[in-house]
Amino acid sequence: MSALKKVYFKTFGCRTNLFDTQVMKSNLGQFECVECESEADIVIVNSCTVTNGADAGVRGYLHKMRDLNKKVYFTGCGVGTRGQEVFSQNLAYGVFAHSFKENIDELLQSEKRFFHKEDSSEHIDSTIVTEFAGKSRAFLKIQEGCDFACSYCIIPSVRGKARSYSKDKILKQILTLAESGISEVVLTGTNVGSYGRDLDSNLAGLIREIYDLGVLRRLRIGSLEPSQIDSEFKEVLELPIMEKHLHIALQHTSDTMLEIMNRHNRVESDLELFAYFAQKGFCLGSDFIVGHPGESESVWEEALANFKLFPLTHLHPFVYSKRDGTKSSEMKNDIKGDVSKQRLHTLKDIVAQNNVAFRKAHKTPLNVLCESKIESSNTESSKGFVYTGLDEFFNRMRFESEKDNLIGQWLTFKDYDIAMEQNNGKI
C-alpha cells in the first residue's frame, strides 16, 4: 500500500479564510495533512484579494511553490479576481471557488487540470469541524457574504449576499470544538453583524444560546458595523464569557469620506457608540482606510481631529487599494503613496499610545489563554520557556516559565509590567 500524499495548506487573509481552511482539512480523507510546506507533495493556497498587496503576496507564493515543483491548487476569494490568470499561467494545477472546498478530497484526485468558478451565490458549508489542530482557540464562521455596498470593497462580489448558518449547526459546532479541548471561540464571517436576518433571528440571540451551552470560557466577536449594534446586543455583552474587546469598523472619521465610501455610519453617532463602550471598560478596535479618492488635505485634517476623540486601543489601518469593478476604482485619486503612508503611521502612533494608557488605567488581574511557546536562550529567559497569549482585552501577555506544558491553559496574572508592545507577566 502506497503512502498517502502529503498536503500543506497556506492561508492568506482573514479569520473567515482560516475557518475555510479547517473545513478543507476536515474533508481530507485520502491524503495526509502536514504543517510544513517542505514536507508536502501538494500545496493548497487559500487566497485573499482584499487589496493589491494581498494579491501580490499570494502571487509571489504561487511562483515560489512552482519553482519548488510543488503541485499547487488555488482557492479562496482570489478565484473570482485572479483565478483565470493563475490557471492560464499554469501557476496552479487546479483552481476552485468557495462552494467546491468540501469536495477537496475528490478534487485532489483529479487526473486533469481544472478551473471551477463559483456556481452558487448561496452556498453554505455543511461540515462540522472537529478540531483546530495545534490551536487553543478556534474561529467559527457563522455567516457568509455581505449586503453592504461600500464603494471600495470587492468582497461582496466574491463572497456573495449575506446568508447565515443555522443556529443548530453553530451550536453543534461549538459543542464539538469544546469536546476537542477548545475553550475560546471567535465568531467570524464576512459581515458578522448581519447574522440571522435571513433566519428571523439575530446575533444577540445566538450569543445567549452559546452562553447557555456552558462549555466556553471566552467568546469573541469579529468585526461589526456600527449600524448593526443595537440595545439587545449591548445587553449580551454583559454576559461573563464575553471578551472585553470589540472591533467596530469605522473605515473613516470624516463624514465627507464616509459619504464618498457609501458607508452607513457617521462620525457623531460613532463617537457616541464608542464613548458608551469605553465607559463600560471595553478595549476598542477598528479599521481605517487612508488615501481613498477624495481624502484631500482639508478632509484629512478634519478626520484626524475627529480620530483623536475616539477611545481606540487597536487599529487595522490600510492604504487604499484600487479594486477593479468597484465604484471607487472609477474615481480620480490624486493622493500620493508617501502621503498615504504617513497618514497611516500617524494613526497607528496615536492608537499605540492610547493602548498603553488604557492598560495603565485598567491594571487589573488578567485572564490569559496561553497560545504559543518559544524555547528561549539563556540571554532571553532564565526559566527555559517564553510563552505568549491574549487577555480579555485582546492585549498580548508575554511571560517566562520553567514548565513546558502550558499551551491551552488559562492563567491569571496579578503581577505584570506594562510595555509598549505587550504586557510582561510573572508567574
Domain match, 89 and 185 both? no
Question: Does pLDDT of 324 surpass 50?
Answer: yes
pLDDT of residue 383: 65
pLDDT (0 to 100) of residue 134: 62
pTM: 0.88
Q: How confident is the model at residue 376 (pLDDT cuts 50, 70, 90)?
A: low
Of 407, 390, 165, 145, the C-alpha closest to 283 is: 390
Whether residue 144 is found in the same domain as residue 74? no
Instruction: Decide if 344 is inside a domain.
Output: no
The number of residues making up the chain comes to 427
Has residue 311 got a pLDDT over 50? yes
**For the chain, what percent of residues have pLDDT higher than 70?**
96
The verdict on residue 108 lying in a domain is yes
300 lies in a domain? Answer: no
| Domain that includes residue 385, residue range | 366-425
Q: Is residue 164 located within the same domain as residue 204?
A: yes
Residue with cell 491553559: 409
Average of pLDDT values for 355-374?
A: 94
End of a domain among 243, 265, 286? 243
The amino acid at 33? C
Instruction: Tell me which of 214-223, 292-301, 371-380 is least confident.
Output: 371-380
**In the prediction, which pLDDT does 90 show?**
92
Residue 281 has a CB neighbour count (10 Å cut-off) of 12
Same domain, 112 and 130: no
Task: Examine the domain organization and report whether 97 and 146 are in the same domain.
Answer: no
Residue 373 lies in a domain: yes
Lowest mean pLDDT among 8-12, 157-161, 405-409, 413-417: 157-161
pLDDT of 288: 98
CA distance 308 to 318: 18
Domain boundary among 243, 261, 281: 243
State how many domains the chain has: 3
Q: Is residue 331 part of a domain?
A: no
Residue 252 falls within a domain, yes or no?
A: no
Q: Is 174 exposed, middle or buried (0-12, 13-18, 19+ CB in 10 A)?
A: buried
How many Å from the N-terminal Cα to the C-terminal Cα in the chain? 50
pLDDT averaged over every residue in the chain: 92
Rounded mean pLDDT of 147-160?
A: 89
Q: Do residues 18 and 101 both lie within one domain?
A: yes
Does some domain include residue 223?
yes
pLDDT at 377: 55
Mean pLDDT, rounded, for 283-296: 97
Q: What's the pLDDT at 1?
A: 43
Same domain, 229 and 134: yes
Domain boundary among the residues 116, 139, 163 is at 116
Residue 17: give its domain's CATH number.
3.40.50.12160
Residue 400: inside a domain: yes
Based on the fold, state whether residues 152 and 228 are members of the same structural domain: yes
pLDDT tens by residue, 181-221:
899 999 999 999 999 999 989 999 999 999 999 999 999 99
Strand 410-413 vs strand 163-164: parallel, antiparallel, or unpaired? unpaired
Q: How far from 384 is each of 359, 387, 406, 416, CA to CA, in Å?
A: 27, 10, 13, 19
CB 383 within 8 A of CB 398: no
Strands 283-290, 245-247: pairing is: parallel
Q: DSSP letter string over 226-277?
A: GGG--HHHHHHTTSTTB-SEEEB--B-S-HHHHHHTT-S--HHHHHHHHHHH
